[in-house]
Structure 1
Amino acid sequence: MNFENLLVSKNNGIAQITINRPKKLNALNKVTIKELHEAFDVLESDLSVKIIIVTGSGDKAFVAGADISEFAHFSIEEGASLARAGQEMLFDFIENLATPVIAAINGFALGGGLELAMACHFRIASDNAKMGLPEVSLGVIPGYGGTQRLPQLVGKGKAMELIMTAGMVPAEEAKECGLVNHVVSQEELIPLAEKIASKIMRNSSVAIAAAIKAINANFQDGVNGFDVEISAFGECFGTEDFEEGTTAFLEKRKPNFSGN
């Protein structure tokens, strides 16, 4: 895959997407959002890919926000269209991928950058990372799901404070409030992501996809997450991975999952 603003690599079941706009601190523009969608879509269809890691190039920024110059003069209708298109094309798309996505936050994750990280299934950060949603300082609010996903992760009160102050939190504080799972040095960030990915890959990919679907259902309006869990749980009984997993357990050996 060749992209203008992304680097994509694959190794032993792990794919890495690196947002590569270092002069712009990896800010999201229309082209980058479109390319990210295309990259995730292709990797989701690649049966050899079991985990996707997304990070930023350099050591300063994961994604330092959206490219403000692209929408500074938008009308009300254009602004709403921008948010809707971005959510559907990328942020909701990532959240609902069957392939687990880890955000490796290697520096500033601000505005659309933090929204991108929050759309991933979970996040790890380097100790120099700083995160925030500064949109109200520009006279606007987060538009790529930030007002919805941040409260889910850190609670309503903390989300209200972070959004209304337009402040940034350092990596350790982000860990304390549940925004990220782990904090390590810059040098350890990708190795840790790969270590976690390796642990995930030992398990059934079909069961993991079902778990992602069930967990996400709890946050969808009008959807009973318990019913989704019951249905997905039952469907697992019809998979080859369930037969292999239970047989391996009874035979006291490691399972060899096929992903079917």
Structure 2
Amino acid sequence: MKKIKILSFLMAMMLALAACGSDDAANSGGDEGSGEDGGTTYTVGTDTTYPPFEFEEGGKYKGIDIDIINAIAEEEGFKIELKPMDFGGIIPAILADQLDVAIAGMSITDDRKEKVDFSDPYFDAGLTLVVSEDNNDITSVDDLEGKVVAVKNGTTGADYAEKMKEEAGIKEVRQFNDSPSMFQEVANGNADVLIEDYPVIAYAIKTSNLDLKTVGDRLNGDQYGIAVKKGENQELLEKINSGLQKIKDNGKYDEILNRYLEE
């Protein structure tokens, strides 16, 4: 009788363990980003020295890009983990599988599209020349001969300056890892002019005592996109595009822009 009871107990234990194993297998193969258990978490690279798109205030990250990716995540049922870094390191981090997504005021360019896949455009930007308030000598690219131009490393502004260096007769293109250092270089008179995305510098001039001003027409018509690793994250890219369209349709997108930019 004892043997029968022991055998019955062992069989019951084996059945219980088998059932637990089945549940674990089912849970590990759940639908990514379904939202049923809070959703998949994606690591998102961003440059938090780039207001109004991303910046730190009161120990929290905020800005147009931060609010947009959070709104998309909410709509699509996934979570994000922000990973601040220098802009120039973002695409290398995606290629090294250290990031799933990047949103950092990143212009969609042919060169970048060779390395990453972009979402649908989410913002129309454009480069502009910026000089100190008392500088009346520079009003266009035609005035850059013999001048020192400050740019941010890895940006389309840096690319533009390097491409125009010989044609415009630029004396030196000086690169910086963050926007504040670049702004200060021109404000202090150590560089003659900087090249920056118009909405970024317009916001910086409006909210800070930079003693800078924008001059001339916009140099190009950049559009910003959200990036993922090329050819390897199509499902995630579809979620991002879906969420982006949803927040445009339901008004959240306009609310975010109006929060940081004046009409």
Name the structure where helix makes up a greater proportion of residues.
1
Q: Which of 1 and 2 has greater Rg?
A: 2
Shorter-chain TM band: under 0.3
**Relative contact order: is structure 1 or structure 2 higher (C-alpha 8 Å, sep ≥ 6)?**
2
Q: Report the TM-score, using the length of structure 1 for normalisation.
A: 0.25
> TM-score, with normalisation over the residues of structure 2?
0.24
Q: Which has the higher strand share?
A: 2
